[in-house]
Amino acid sequence: MQNQVQISFHGLDHSDAVETNIRERVAKLDKLFDRITACRVVVESEHQSHSHLNPTHKPFHVSVKLSLPGDQLFVKNDKKDHDHDDVNIAVRDVFTTMERRLKDYVRRRWYDARHRAESEVI
């Protein structure tokens, strides 16, 4: 990766274990596409007052933004669809989605480059 990873925690204390988990997952993305220029990850927890069903339930939400040459990819756990009680599961799910999107991006980029090259030959 050309720049450092930025990791922010909102509504919860910083966790070295969660940060290590995130950095390992970002390194895996970097192996898929080594031209990532920046990565920003935000881990947040809702305030207890926002959870109506269980006052001790504090779901975690994670967002990842990758900056690529001429493009950006963004993934965020949708609060309506996913209420993660475990921060590591929230991290896993958002990075699984980002990995799929990055693979699609790389595939499209390769396909476009190949077809441009073929059209120049003809």
Q: What is the mean pLDDT of residues 81-93?
A: 82
- Looking at the domain covering 5-121, what would its CATH class be? alpha beta
pLDDT digits (tens, 9 = 90+) for 39-50: 999 999 976 544
Tokens of 90: 């929230």
pLDDT digits (tens, 9 = 90+) for 12-40: 999 999 999 999 999 999 999 999 999 99
Output the DSSP codes for 46-76.
--GGG-SS-TT---EEEEEEEEETTEEEEEE
pTM of the model: 0.80
